Structure 1
Amino acid sequence: MNSKQKRRIILIFIDVALISLSVLWAYLLRFEYSIPSFYWKFVPYAALSYAILTVLVYHWYHLYKKVWAYVSVGELYTLIKANVISTAVLLIINHFVQESIETNIIPRSIFLISFFIMTIAIGGSRLAWRLFHDRFFLGDLKQGDRRTLVVGAGDAGALVIKELRNTTHFYPVAMIDDDPEKLGLEILGVPIVGNRNDIPKIVKQLRVQDIIIAMPSASKQELRKIIDICKTTGAQVKILPASVKDILEGKLSVKIRDVDVEDLLGRDPVKVDLEEISDYLKDRVVLVTGAGGSIGSELSRQIARFHPKQLVLLGHGENSIYGIDMELRNQYPELQIEPIIADIQDKSRVERIFREFRPEVVFHAAAHKHVPLMEKNPSEAIKNNVFGTKNIAEAAHDFGAERFVLISTDKAVNPTSVMGTTKRIAEMFIQALDKVSPTKFVAVRFGNVLGSRGSVIPLFKKQIEQGGPVTVTHPEMVRFFMTIPEAVQLVIQAGAMAKGGEIFILDMGNPVKIVDLAKDLIRLSGLKVDEDIKIKYTGIRPGEKLYEEILTQEEGTTKTKHQRIFIAKPTEIDYTEFNQEIQKLTVVLDKDEHEIKQALKDLVPTFQYKGKENVEGKSEPLKV
């Protein structure tokens, strides 16, 4: 017999005893403590029938599955309702029995008096148990311990409870699970008290400070629904990201992390065609530029899984290249890795690298991407994003690379910034070069990636840690977001689809308001918006848009076999003419920023640059 069955049997015996005593007390009150012998012989019958029927009704209402250590008004209401039903049924039965035998063996008042005594006795016992439980079972909370609710009463939840009990300052007071069969059970002494819809009520009743979601096998959509419920409670929300299998096999420890905004995107993992990807990466020399950056490093990690012949990591920053080089060498000791420090603006250096390694597949992720900085340093944006890309692309053509994948951005569409315009020029150049080259040149265009360098999420987290305020440029600012891993997986998949000249567009889901991201991060940190952490609007920065687009007016999209990847209609660009136009940019590199921006607009007419006065105008903070 398990502990659950034992607990139910004990509770039933207690209820039978309390109901029987209630009937006896009702007789004593009814007959003023002197029960006639005629009625006395029917007391056991009345007590037993009342007890059996009431216990059956309690069972029907699942009252023996309730955890009475957490009794609330809702449970007491159900108990009263069950008592009313059992009393009414007994009154009806008693009426017909007495009619048939024409003798009043049990006065009707006995059942009515018993009802009130029984309700007080049983309800009081439940309430007393809760008070006792709170005093003695939760009494071992040490100073500084945080009352914690664990969501998910499966294997992962059990591992979390064990870890919390042994090593942390989180004290588990209850668990939540959507399986109704688990309600009322205990895991390592921690009761399961409800389902996901009960989370706000339980948090309030038990004064929960932290919620830990222990559901690593749940889909992203399910996690988002649960997180949306949790973030309304005011508790700090954390998550167990690793699978139970990985933990049990010793690959990972029970490592609980804070919930990130990426958990709120609610998208299931990207599905890729592993065979198709393996065909073009396995046993090939692959070059990644910008390999130390957030996108480039993740590209390198995922490419390494497909066993390339050699992985060339090219970057300008020695520390970041050293970091990804060491990481991959530890994880893939058999892989031939070549770290290279070089500036893609150095054409002769780029050519020497291509001549030595002869890369067959090139992922070009190196770029200046910070919008406001590039507005103030337009010549550097041109040198890196335009001429750097030109150097890498021409070397790929000259030295016989099979594929070239440019990492682009939605800011290249109808650009309002120097950064976006230079990336659009890079797109146009590789489309033009594809027309005259056997190398397949393609670009992959997507929006913001969560957690990348310079992205808004790390900034928000830092501001929250410092006590605020969290700075948002505009209340209506919206952006498309992806996680770094899913963006990179789609980039690699798009590379497998390349026929040449395409601009692949990644499905970014629905746009998200930046201010909503800020509010979610504040709430998930267990803080209140505008009380604990203020939100301050600072005004749109130079070069920024309120919203981003994914297509130019000339482009339309066609579907691919992958549901998350689309192709923009290729733009017809003459390579010779466009190359000559790009060379004109060299003349203005030493000029002031207004002349540089005008030259960019000559190349990209959709660049929304309106002249010198537009650049010099300062953005005033918004008054909201």
Structure 2
Amino acid sequence: MRLRVFMLLGDAALVNLAYYCALLLRFEGSIPSKYLYGYLDVALVVTAVSLGSLYVHDLYNRIWKYASTDDLLAIIRAVTVSTVGVAVIGYFSPSPLPRSIPILGWMFNILFIGGSRFVWRLLVDRLSEPRQTVRARKALIVGAGDAGATVARELRHHRAAEIWPVGFVDDDPGKQKMQIFGLPILGTRDDIPRLVQQHGIEEIIIAIPSAPGEVIREIVSICKATPAKLKIVPAVYDLIDGKVTVSQIREVELEDLLGREPVSIDMEEIAGYLGDQVVMVTGAAGSIGSELCRQICRFHPGRLVAVDFSENGLFELEMELKESFPQVPLSVELADIREKRRIERLMEEYRPAVVFHAAAHKHVPLMEIHPEEAVKNNIIGTRNVAEAAARVGVKTFVLISTDKAVNPTSVMGATKRVAEMIIQHLDRVSDTRFAAVRFGNVLGSRGSVIPVFKRQIEKGGPVTVTHPDMVRYFMTVSEAVQLVIQAGAMARGGEVFVLDMGKPVKIVDLARDLIRLSGFEPDKDIKIEFTGIRPGEKLFEELLTAEEGVTATRHRKIYIAKNNCIDTETIEMMLGELNRDDKFSNADSARDFLSRFVPSYRPYHKHVAATRSFG
């Protein structure tokens, strides 16, 4: 309150000073008494009108430490309104003022009132600006764009950061020798080694969130030749609100070297089918399921129902979601999708509008040993959830599938292909829109190759790769889930959506990159050993069969596989066999079932027998 009174008094003085200066300018320094006393007659009213306009435009409810162009525009609006009032007052005054005085007064008021605010901001910034401490580590920022500027500003004002930015490097010729927040652009990426030595740089921060993986890989390669520690600003799709903060700057990870274009999603379309709706996610404690839950919560569902059979995983997910999204009603249900009655009760209780079915056994070698369990979980479990969803009138059902369902040579891939067939059949015979989304490997997911490589590197090697020519499609979990949610919004029923996975990556190249990021040289410090292709694996995965082909959608990263005609009689025969309780009591019965309904699947009896005997 005291500050507002002080500002009102200060503005009153500045308003009158502005009109006095206007009179001085108008009469070239010698104001006739007639006009000086004429202004004094109306000075009180002019001051009241001016302060009233400033008050109405909320200029006394702002924190001027953060003054910006928006605040300057507010000052201009307020002064313009008050100037119109002053012109009217001057016109009807017994001693009219020259017509130029309101215009000149407008100019001086903006200069004095606006200037006072920004001088205050400059003083506060100067007094509160932290100085480089002896302990602060010198940092070089790679990228002089919006992200780089944000990082520099955050570091300079974040006392706990203990990092002091020295300058930028950027490959744009137009930015060379320029400055951002007083920090110079010192050169291009090729100058990094020289700048590190010249300025004693201890940390290099890559601040190019939209850069492709090839660019990040080149920069990392240059930086690895220096003793400086390397950090990075996350990719755009990993930033929750698109804004960069100091806490988000992290170590460079393998995902950054594979960097892909940011995903654009139709927020309005997604909000239309998830907002205020009951949404159920099965397999909610897994890598894909938990990320689905996080991203769904951002669209404000009426209730999120998280279903999983992992007690610990479900508990951890519940704690995380309640802390991060306290406003979203949450139900966690410990349930096994193989238990048909339990799933039916859950569907009856919650009656969700949307279901994302992510629950599945996914480890290829393990499912080769236990095919009966893969059939029970991936096929019978999917049938249980899908039929229960159709029975209660779920609007949209999305199955999370895999590229291994295409021409499958593994048990896991074959079971996922059957799951796709089931939901396509149910789409034809129910009112629910059933769709599947097919994509490749997710970086960093549980049991995936990268965590395995990291553990092997921590133990000093060797890093084991199955084959030097083994390639896979990779996608980050956040990118995959964004596209899954977008595909759900586009579903009209019966589609198998295929995500654009980009270029396939050699597994051995991933291993070498990860070894380098860990500070070692591949084949020198850490050996790479080739162990041979495991049963069920292929050298490369496919996203489509030769018969399917694709149809483009309005989203450039999502395609629709053209439907193969699925024989209804065959599907009904298959569903009939799934209803027999004794059907999958052993591995041979499961393999026989898959061989009959998925022609491309060929079982690996020899391997399984050996594994069971000696494992």
Query: Same-fold call, TM > 0.5?
Result: yes
Name the residue aligned to 1:425.
418
List alignment gaps of at least 5 residues for structure 1.
1-139, 619-624
Alignment of 1:3-42 (within 5 A): none
Name the residue aligned to 1:411.
404
Distance of 1:473 and 1:203 partners within structure 2: 39
- 1:279 deviates by 1.6
Is contact 1:156-1:214 (8 Å) kept? no
Name the residue aligned to 1:603.
597
Distance of 2:593 and 2:483 partners within structure 1: 34
The structure-2 alpha-carbon separation of the partners of 1:156 and 1:284, relative to structure 1 and needing over 3 Å to count, comes to closer
Aligned residues: 469
Distance of 2:137 and 2:462 partners within structure 1: 26
1:581 matched to 2:569? The reply is no
Name the residue aligned to 2:513.
520
1:590 matched to 2:590? The reply is no
User: Which letter maps to 1:506?
Assistant: L
Is contact 2:151-2:245 (8 Å) kept? no
Name the residue aligned to 2:377.
384
Cα shift readout 1:262-309 (whole Å, capped 9, x = no counterpart): 222332211111222122112221111011111111111111122222
Name the residue aligned to 2:251.
258
The structure-2 alpha-carbon separation of the partners of 1:493 and 1:416, relative to structure 1 and needing over 3 Å to count, comes to same
- Aligned match for 1:301, one of 286, 294, 298: 294
- 1:224 deviates by 4.3
- Aligned match for 2:473, one of 467, 476, 480: 480
Distance of 1:219 and 1:497 partners within structure 2: 26
- Aligned match for 1:230, one of 215, 220, 239: 220
Query: Secondary structure, in 3 states, of the residue corresponding to 1:368?
Result: coil
Name the residue aligned to 1:290.
283
Name the residue aligned to 2:141.
150
- Aligned match for 1:333, one of 323, 326, 331: 326
- Aligned match for 2:361, one of 365, 368, 379: 368
Is contact 1:471-1:535 (8 Å) kept? yes
Name the residue aligned to 1:56.
none
Higher-Rg member (1/2): 1
- Aligned match for 1:281, one of 274, 281, 285: 274
Name the residue aligned to 1:318.
311
List alignment gaps of at least 5 residues for structure 2.
1-132
User: Which letter maps to 2:143?
Assistant: G
Distance of 1:377 and 1:161 partners within structure 2: 53
Quick check: 312-321 or 206-215, which moved more?
A: 206-215
- 1:497 deviates by 1.4
Distance of 1:468 and 1:203 partners within structure 2: 31
Query: Secondary structure, in 3 states, of the residue corresponding to 1:584?
Result: helix
Name the residue aligned to 1:97.
none
**Where has structure 1 moved over 4 Å in runs of 4 or more?**
145-149, 159-168, 170-175, 179-192, 200-210, 246-252, 585-588, 614-618
Name the residue aligned to 2:428.
435
Name the residue aligned to 1:15.
none
Query: Secondary structure, in 3 states, of the residue corresponding to 1:543?
Result: coil
RMSD: 3.2
Quick check: 498-507 or 305-314, which moved more?
A: 305-314
Is contact 1:416-1:607 (8 Å) kept? yes
1:220 matched to 2:214? The reply is no
Cα shift readout 1:161-201 (whole Å, capped 9, x = no counterpart): 64899755x78777423355765678999875421133355
Distance of 2:546 and 2:184 partners within structure 1: 59
Alignment of 1:608-623 (within 5 A): 608-609=602-603, 612-613=605-606, 615-616=608-609
Distance of 1:445 and 1:382 partners within structure 2: 19
Q: TM-score, normalised by structure 1?
A: 0.68
The structure-2 alpha-carbon separation of the partners of 1:150 and 1:279, relative to structure 1 and needing over 3 Å to count, comes to closer
Name the residue aligned to 1:566.
559
Is contact 1:286-1:362 (8 Å) kept? yes
User: Which letter maps to 2:341?
Assistant: S
Alignment of 1:92-103 (within 5 A): none
Is contact 2:154-2:246 (8 Å) kept? no
Q: Percent identity?
A: 56
The structure-2 alpha-carbon separation of the partners of 1:225 and 1:357, relative to structure 1 and needing over 3 Å to count, comes to same
Is contact 1:311-1:338 (8 Å) kept? yes
Query: Secondary structure, in 3 states, of the residue corresponding to 2:509?
Result: helix
Is contact 2:151-2:244 (8 Å) kept? no
Is contact 2:354-2:397 (8 Å) kept? yes
Name the residue aligned to 1:117.
none
Q: TM-score, normalised by structure 2?
A: 0.69
User: Which letter maps to 1:198?
Assistant: D
Distance of 2:242 and 2:404 partners within structure 1: 44
1:342 matched to 2:335? The reply is yes
- 1:581 deviates by 2.0
Distance of 1:149 and 1:219 partners within structure 2: 19
- 1:253 deviates by 3.8
